[in-house]
Amino acid sequence: MGQIWLERLLRWNAKIQKLLVGRYARMDELNNTLMKASLVLLLLNLFLPTSIAFWIAVALLVWINYRFFSKRIYPRSNENTRYVLRIQQLKKKFETTKIKLKERKIYTYFKCPTCKQQLRVPKGKGKIKVTCSTCKEQFNKIV
């Protein structure tokens, strides 16, 4: 009896492997985020009087399946790469904003008028001559 179930399981596993040959078949960062968002929306749907959250969650699940079973491997990989880069940019922007907020009493932040490079000078120095580290432009600033 146990041998029959093992054979069926192995046949089923072979069919699944045959189905996934040549397909993207990855749960990458984008698919994981979409899955988490759909689960949150499904939980949110329990408390909302409308079913909009449910249909958005279903659309996300359809998109996950489309990406998972897609035979266009390189475009799916590029989508994931663009998503990861965008998330890294957002994290970097958040960290710099956090640092600026933490140091707001010590430093003044401004941009170079020529190259738009972010510059930092100590507060309370009065009128100073600033040299941009990138373009070497010199200008006066009151801090």
Q: Residues 76, 24: contact at Cβ < 8 Å?
A: yes
pTM: 0.73
C-beta neighbour count of 11 within 10 angstroms: 10
Separation CA 62–CA 127 (nearest Å): 60
Separation CA 116–CA 110 (nearest Å): 9
DSSP state of 122: E
Q: How confident is the model at residue 124 (pLDDT cuts 50, 70, 90)?
A: confident
pLDDT tens digits for range 19-76: 888 999 899 999 999 999 999 999 999 999 889 999 999 999 999 999 999 999 999 9
